[in-house]
Structure 1
Amino acid sequence: MANNSGENALVEYGARRVIITITVILCALLEIVDTTIVNVALNDMKGSLGATLNEIGWVVTAYAIGNVIVIPMTSWLSQQFGRKQYFATSIVIFTLCSFLCGNATSMTEIIAFRFIQGMGGGALLVTSQTIITEIYPKEKQGIAQALYGMGVIVGPTLGPPLGGYIIDNYSWPDIFYINIPLGIVATILSLRYVKNPPFNNKKSGTVDWWGIIFLAFAVGTLQYVLEKGQEEDWFSSTPILTCSIISVISFYLFIWRELVFEKPIVNLRVLKNKNLAVGTVLMFILGFGLYGSTFILPIYTQNSLGWTALQSGLLLVPSSLATAFMMPIVGTLIQKGVPQKILASLGMFLFFAYSMWGYTKLTSFSGEGDFFKLLMVRGVGLSLLFIPITTLSLSSLKGQEIGEGASFTGMMRQLGGSFGVALITTYMTRTTQQHRVDMIGHLNPTNPIFVQRLGAFTQKFISSGMTPDKAHLAAMQAIEGQTMGQAAILSYMDIWMFLGILFLATIPFILIVVKNKKGAKVPSGMH
């Protein structure tokens, strides 16, 4: 039924396509969920492994560093070893390291295994998109990207509630063990059904070792700075300053090496394409908003509203389902010729609306009902962003350039998320104190509201049996607690406003992207 010549030989039909689609989406979900599922388990892991809070944070950091190092090299690695073999090996590495992480008895062990697991996971994420693109004919690429996008966009929000459920009912090693049966099934299916493309497994005679070294140091140290910067007070910390310098120098040397070397590990020249250059910026912003908003909501609900980790995680599930529901619809719209840049612009506007809604409506008294409609807008907005941005970025690339360009979009999405979390964390820490200082200026005897509130608290504590002096002190402490809580709320509001303005300001950039002449069709070979 399929044309067996050239790239069309990879197109699948019927049950084979269904099996491969399920396999690669499962692999993408495993990788994405594992980036967030451990967050709710860190406290239990800390006690079990005898680690400090700073040390246990490396469980997250090591995975992120391994992830971001391997993503830009995935296109080259799949050419060296064959995409089918590389994909299956990555699943095995990810699954084996899941078992080893669950059995780790020291911080050294779990950090090492999480780093290797992150490298295997990064390969899964990028190669999964390559495969799902190749097995669908060009006229169904919108649907193909919608199916893949469900894993990428929905995955980050599934991790916290799933992790919270496992921690509440089982133990922390089980968050790793659940990967094992799924990984075994995915390995068997990939070896049985996935094919190598005709142009694959063309090994380069000379390996770009210096390019690999410079890339690893550049993105690895950058990821460390983003993960640990706020914790170490940024550039006042010698390790952060040292890593920042190493990252800048390594990026410079990496760019120089890749531009002069005959067979570079990452082809930077592909960024001359206008669509891809703009697309990488848009993907960075998408990662910033996706991971940033996923990060800020649980902190807000737990710290300001007193919710549990599981309650906070479950809050995002309905919007994730809305995203999953909308993905095939968006893919169909693109397939029918609706301009991608119009859909992406609408997605940016909806994310702006979501952010400004959060800025104006959410308070320290918000309940679950206040979030539902707001998060539905976020879910629909995200569904309108991922597929159009991906197709716009790669629409005017051809052949092997598509895989090379897609590595950039994957890396920029990950780095965008890291920048988002780092900047939001820093901003919250610093502006909360500033808002507190501003409000304290109004807490004085000349302010009748303050005097009234202080008197009410004092009387309350006296009626509970305290002496007047102790009651007054307790009243002052209660007002201080309220002040800090309100300062935190103001910081959250500032962040929502910033995210909204960022997405609104991005719309003009989307509208200037050169449109692919073939509209909805996306070339195969995309990563």
Structure 2
Amino acid sequence: MSSTATAIPGARAPEHHYETGARKWIITVTVIVAAMLELIDTTIVNVAINHISGNLGASIEDVSYVVTSYAIANVIVIPLSGFLGNLFGRRNYFVASIVLFTVASFLCGISTNIWMLVFFRFIQGIGGGGLLPTSQAILYETFRPEDRGAATGIFSMGLVLGPTIGPLLGGYLVDYFAWEWCFFVNIPIGIAAAWAALTFVTEPKVKHAVQKIDWSGIGLLAIGIGSLQFVLERGEQKDWFETDYIVWFTIIAVVSLIAFVWQELHTDHPAVDLSVLARSKNLAIAAVLTFIVGFGLYGSLFVFPVFVQRLLGFTAMLTGLVLFPSAMLTGIISMPLGIALQKGASPKLMMTVGMATFFLFCWELGNQTLMSGAENFFLILLLRGLSLGFIFIPVTLLAVTGLHGKDIGQATGLNNMVRQLGGSFGIAITNTYVAQRVAAHRLDILSHLSPYDPAAVQRLQGMKQALGQYMSSPVEAGQAAMAALEGIVVRQSYHLAYMDAFKMIAILFAICLPLLLFIRVDKKQKADISSAH
């Protein structure tokens, strides 16, 4: 059964049907599962890179394109989702995205060489890119306006669980099966989600026909965003602007994106309606905050596994298990926070609590030592789970507050794209910052290792004596002691650099707190979701 509610945009607008009963919750589970499939696959392959390299006989650099190609396809398609939903029909586009993602997952799993895998991974990213914003729009259409806070809470739960489950699931599949199962695991879930979407999801009553396809805008967006994502993914490995093709891709990205913005603001039928940012100051603020949240979430999620696995000896499984409780906490509090927001709780206060807590989480991570164990991270990571719940829900709802009709689809697409770009910038900048801090800390440590420093000389002599019993000569013992000392210097340099990275992210959140003062939310202002897709 379904109940009706009249769309707000005008008196002649047809009635919109809000789902009720079992059908409502089947649709909810379907769209959340679809969104999580996309998010899990952003991180699930990361732990399988070494295995893929060995099995396909490819270098680690070549295998990294398996991650890069998916991210590039994602970030190109996400902002076009509103347009593509209008062009093909929201349900058709959603189902097609699931099917494309599932088929591409199978083809990735049976790939016999690295470039075949990279190509099908790109196709998988095209399918996955349509799932996130379309799932969000369908969820908003399914719930009544007064229940939109709960819907936002449910969706936010998937946003946090997906990237966190990825490494845990990937580690399990690689350890107990094979790397191919990182892709094959999507197939039964994708088939079930496609069937449920075909059976239960309906087209909205209000449709926005595409009168003209903005091929220029689509092309400029694909070239600009694709080039930018490539630069962010590969720049640090290639020493940024010391590499010619990174310079050229940067120029292409800048020129294409400037041309894209001009094109979309001067055409009557834009593929991505950027004017919605001018009509909604809250969306513009939400986009900035979403970028920052993406930067912090993905930046910290990038550094933490590297820190605990390289320096503390955690396995991929243990790393995932350590991160999992914080994601579960976010899931548990998401719906109550969404309902509280719907009933009048201050989004500004909620985001202030969230950003302050995320600052505390990153700052405490930045104070860990090389003696830290899994138990040392439990409470700290719970702060992460708490903060993400208090941030994601209000900022996601803020993005659509006061918007009507098809503007909702544009807003969700833009907001999801900005989060992905924030994550890419977060990983790229954090990675570069770590490399710079490693070099700085190494020089600082070496400046204290002098043959005139009694403590350094005593430490080196102790290492020579300890290693002497395993070596055939004092010379070999001396060389082994120097190598061991170099290992200690490298380990300490990376430890201090990772701690600096966590604190850098913490400071970014502290600096951005004043942005919350610009949020203006009228309690009577509601987003009309009756015709969004």
**Are the aligned partners of 1:68 and 1:219 in contact in 2 as well (CA < 8 Å)?**
yes
What TM-score comes out, normalization by structure 2 length? 0.96
- Between 1:43-52 and 1:209-218, the stretch displaced more is 43-52
Corresponding residue number in structure 2 for 1:89: 96
CA distance in 2, matches of 1:414, 1:159: 16
Corresponding residue number in structure 2 for 1:140: 147
AA aligned to 2:61 is N
Alpha-carbon distance, 1:130 to partner: 0.5
Alpha-carbon displacement from aligned partner over 1:3-24 (angstroms, at most 9, x marks no partner): 2644762311110001001100
CA distance in 2, matches of 1:357, 1:47: 37
Corresponding residue number in structure 2 for 1:397: 403
Alpha-carbon distance, 1:517 to partner: 3.0
Counterpart of 1:256 (choices 262, 267, 272) is: 262
AA aligned to 1:393 is A
* Structure 1 residues without counterparts, runs of 5 or longer: none
AA aligned to 1:59 is V
Alpha-carbon displacement from aligned partner over 1:438-492 (angstroms, at most 9, x marks no partner): 1101001232221221121111112334422222222222111111111111111
- Pairwise CA RMSD: 1.4
Alpha-carbon distance, 1:178 to partner: 1.0
Alpha-carbon displacement from aligned partner over 1:238-289 (angstroms, at most 9, x marks no partner): 1111110100110111111111111010111111121111110000001111
Give secondary structure in 1 for the equivalent of 2:332.
Answer: helix
**Are the aligned partners of 1:146 and 1:327 in contact in 2 as well (CA < 8 Å)?**
yes
- Between 1:207-216 and 1:424-433, the stretch displaced more is 424-433
1:435 to 1:95, Cα distance in 2 relative to 1, 3 A: same
AA aligned to 2:281 is K
**Are the aligned partners of 2:290 and 2:422 in contact in 1 as well (CA < 8 Å)?**
yes
Corresponding residue number in structure 1 for 2:455: 449
Corresponding residue number in structure 2 for 1:150: 157
Within 5 Å, give how 1:262-341 maps onto structure 2.
Answer: 262-272=268-278, 273-341=280-348
Alpha-carbon displacement from aligned partner over 1:51-77 (angstroms, at most 9, x marks no partner): 111111111111001100001110011
Give secondary structure in 1 for the equivalent of 2:45.
Answer: helix
**Are the aligned partners of 2:71 and 2:125 in contact in 1 as well (CA < 8 Å)?**
yes
Give secondary structure in 1 for the equivalent of 2:156.
Answer: helix
**Are the aligned partners of 1:2 and 1:8 in contact in 2 as well (CA < 8 Å)?**
no
Corresponding residue number in structure 1 for 2:11: none
Alpha-carbon displacement from aligned partner over 1:364-395 (angstroms, at most 9, x marks no partner): 11101110000000110011110111112221
Counterpart of 1:218 (choices 204, 216, 224) is: 224
Corresponding residue number in structure 2 for 1:412: 418
Count of aligned pairs? 524
What TM-score comes out, normalization by structure 1 length? 0.97
Corresponding residue number in structure 2 for 1:35: 42
**Are the aligned partners of 2:330 and 2:388 in contact in 1 as well (CA < 8 Å)?**
yes
**Are the aligned partners of 2:227 and 2:249 in contact in 1 as well (CA < 8 Å)?**
yes
CA distance in 2, matches of 1:192, 1:465: 72
Alpha-carbon displacement from aligned partner over 1:327-373 (angstroms, at most 9, x marks no partner): 1121122122111111011000000011111122x111110111000
- Between 1:179-188 and 1:305-314, the stretch displaced more is 305-314
**Are the aligned partners of 2:137 and 2:408 in contact in 1 as well (CA < 8 Å)?**
no
**Are the aligned partners of 1:341 and 1:392 in contact in 2 as well (CA < 8 Å)?**
no
Give secondary structure in 2 for the equivalent of 1:204.
Answer: coil
CA distance in 1, matches of 2:88, 2:436: 48
CA distance in 2, matches of 1:468, 1:107: 47
Runs of 4+ in 1 over 6 A off after TM superposition: none
Alignment pair present for 1:160 and 2:189:
no
Corresponding residue number in structure 2 for 1:177: 184
Counterpart of 2:517 (choices 489, 500, 511) is: 511
Counterpart of 1:469 (choices 471, 475, 498) is: 475
CA distance in 2, matches of 1:333, 1:255: 37
**Are the aligned partners of 1:278 and 1:509 in contact in 2 as well (CA < 8 Å)?**
yes
Corresponding residue number in structure 1 for 2:10: none
CA distance in 2, matches of 1:331, 1:355: 25
AA aligned to 1:488 is Y
Corresponding residue number in structure 1 for 2:236: 230
CA distance in 1, matches of 2:532, 2:498: 37
CA distance in 1, matches of 2:102, 2:6: 35
Counterpart of 1:458 (choices 460, 464, 470) is: 464
1:451 to 1:8, Cα distance in 2 relative to 1, 3 A: farther
CA distance in 1, matches of 2:206, 2:461: 79
* Structure 2 residues without counterparts, runs of 5 or longer: 8-13
